[in-house]
A and B are shown apart, each in its own frame.
Chain A
Amino acid sequence: MADETKLASGDSVCLPNGLVSHGDSRTRRVYETARSLHSGAVKDLLSLGVCERCIFRLIPVEAFDSDVSSVSTSTLRSWLESRDDETGSLESSCSRICIVCLGILQFVFSDAKQKLVKTDTSSDYAARITELVKQDRREFDSFGLEVSVPSIIIENERAVLSYLKGKYSNESWLQIKKISVKDALKVLVLDPLRASLGAKSDSSTFHIRLTYSRASDGAQGASEKTHESKRRKTDAENGSNCISENSFEKVYEPCLLSVHCNKMPIFFSGRYFKYSRNVSQSRWIIDDERMGEASVEEILGGNILPACLGDSYKFHAAGREDIDVRMLGSGRPFLIEIQNSRQCPSEQSLKEVEEKINNSEKKLVGVKDLRCVGSQCWAMMREGEAEKQKQYAALVWISRPLEDKDLNSISSLIELKILQKTPVRVLHRRSPLDREKIIHWMKVEKIKGNSHYFLLHLCTQAGTYIKEFVHGDLGRTTPSMGSILGCRAEIIQLDVTDVKMGDS
């Protein structure tokens, strides 16, 4: 145990077990740590079948950190074993899967094709992971690493720790908190992955997730395991060390590793115009039949998605309008959310998307101010929703000729309060409520040569049903255009002329 070989601070050093290692300070530190571990405990754990890095974790003399990753599995093993005089049974135990981490910290796993992959060093492991990541054709400057491991590992660890506690109850290293398998793996592979992928690591939008799951054993094996784990649990509670070494005899299978890359969604904002009275805002399909000839959602999303090489899109708008209502004036703010984008489109390509939509043959939809935005976009959307005012132009017909005094009586109504019962046309899917709304102002524009029709400009509170305000909805909206003018009124067509956002 006190076999301290002085390492010269040279380039390479010959160690007593014949292995040559580069004498840089990191490796030396790990070597010295290996030597300083409680040899009895190390021997026990080795014979139980605990892997080298787990031993470093569970007998924490020094903090488990990335220095350990610079040493290969086999070198670690030799340093841990070399204190014993027993040289036998080295080979057989080398190939055993660790009973605690199930091979994870040994960099052993089976891949998607059920093939066993064994890598000795963390850089080899990182190279394998990089291969899998590159298959996805992603572009990224930085990534965040996520690891998920099977829950049985916690139980395995608890069992081993309670065994150690029972046997070495006085040792100081028992009290120190152990780093988990998940965190240990991250510590070991983060730097090599950074080098191998050529990217920084941070909490970016691009996540690489390593998911380890247990290879399924079949019904019998599973029940065996649960039985065992139950037994281990009670033993752990009793704190006894009656876990026989036999219960760890069984051979464990390596875990299945799957690598997933996930990009957090990216957002684009802008304002859209709807020039057609036969285009719905979002995709509208009833009984396999599309309502209207197109939708704003599909025109915008369908053009932005290919520029991002994304998987799918979601459309969010600050309010909505009916299919037969045009959206003119300043346009309505919207957000397009792209899932799993593989490239961020340049300003130039965004301009091209805008032009493509605006110069299309049918001119159904227009767009402006298209740009990529960060997560603050939601605050922007909230602004446009409930509190803001909307402006409309409605073509109204009345049953009697329009008189000059009507123009005054209408424009004199400022901040008019109206009460709207839920319109019949939406009553099937909305709560029956009385909603009080405000008409901020109104202005009548006469139409040349026609005294029964006029253009009504009005500015209302968000959420006001304009059509119902004009025709009265069987008297369920009061006052209405008809009741104000004392005659029948009908709305022929409606356009949205302004959606006010912020202070504009």
Chain B
Amino acid sequence: MEIQKIEVAKNPEIEDAIELPKKGSHDEVEDCEEQQQQQEAQEDEKNRVEEEDELRNLLLSDIGGLPISPPSATQVNFVTYFITDFTKSGHDQYIYRHANGLCVIGLAPTHIAFKDEGGITNIDFNVGKSDRSVLKVSGKRKKNALRSESNTALCKVSTAKDTYIVRCCVKGSLLEVNDRLIKQPQLLNASADREGYIAIIMPRPTDWTKNKESLITLEEYKEKKELSL
């Protein structure tokens, strides 16, 4: 072992070569060690390339027929519900429910606010008794979350013409509001169904079962809105 150390000090350029065969190390100390180690390094390189090829084959083998437009992450992971004319006519909202119970709330495409010229220009989370955008929910138990009823106000969206109140629609704990909307209200106009979501609420299982009855599915929503258009 001592001899090996001296070798390293003398030949720093083969330091790399020595480090590589750590996995399959051998303990013999010979005079032609340097040559042997270089050979080993070359073999390792070959093995590595072979392994990479194997890996690439594995990676590509799994790719079956690729659809032109695959379902989005939202469509795959969430069940989509709608609620229409909530407390007021034209106030249509969506509720995406994840398998883990969380609900993402946002404005449905037929919401009355989108009909106004210029779309939504401003959003204000300071409604009801507190500013929803400053609440700090912490920990796994979601301490300090606002306990909301379905008609608790979430925020106000304003257009050039009017201001509309957006409500929770779901009874539960308010975990998060999308505060990016404050600086970028145009997200609501461009992609209300993704980056323009409004809030995330965590309902209790029993509350959700009751709530669900007032919600409609995507199909029912399409039908309803076709008629009114």
Interface residues of A (CB under 8 A from B): 275, 277, 326, 328-329, 393, 395, 397, 421, 424-432, 447, 450, 452-453, 455, 467, 471-475, 488, 490-493, 495, 497, 503-504
Contact = CB atoms under 8 A, between A and B. Distances in A.
Interface in B155-214: 175-176, 178, 180, 187, 194-195, 197, 200, 202
A80 B51 CA distance: 80
Interface stretch (B30-38, B69-77, B83-91, B109-117): B69-77
B101 A428 contact: yes
7 shortest interchain CB distances as A-B pairs = A475-B195, A428-B100, A471-B73, A393-B59, A474-B197, A432-B137, A431-B139
B137 A497 contact: no
25 contacts: A329-B51, A421-B176, A424-B77, A425-B77, A425-B98, A426-B100, A427-B176, A428-B100, A429-B140, A430-B140, A431-B140, A432-B137, A432-B138, A432-B142, A452-B68, A455-B59, A455-B60, A471-B73, A474-B194, A474-B197, A475-B178, A475-B195, A475-B197, A490-B71, A492-B70
A292 to B, nearest CB: 14
B41 interface: no
B70 A432 contact: no
B175 A432 contact: yes
A475 B178 CA distance: 9
B194 A475 contact: yes
B66 A453 contact: yes
Interface in B38-94: 51, 55, 58-60, 62-63, 66, 68, 70-74, 77
Number of chain B interface residues as a range: 35 or more
Contacts of B197: 474-475
A488 B202 CA distance: 27
B142 to A, nearest CB: 8
B104 interface: yes
B72 A488 contact: yes
Contacts of B74: 474
A431 B138 contact: yes
A285 to B, nearest CB: 16
B128 to A, nearest CB: 21
Given A427-B175, A504-B22, A328 B70 contact: no
Contacts of A504: 22-23
A434 to B, nearest CB: 11
B55 A490 contact: no
A328 B59 contact: yes
Given A328-B59, A427-B102, A475-B195, 4 more contacts: A328-B58, A424-B200, A428-B202, A492-B66
Nearest to B63: A395
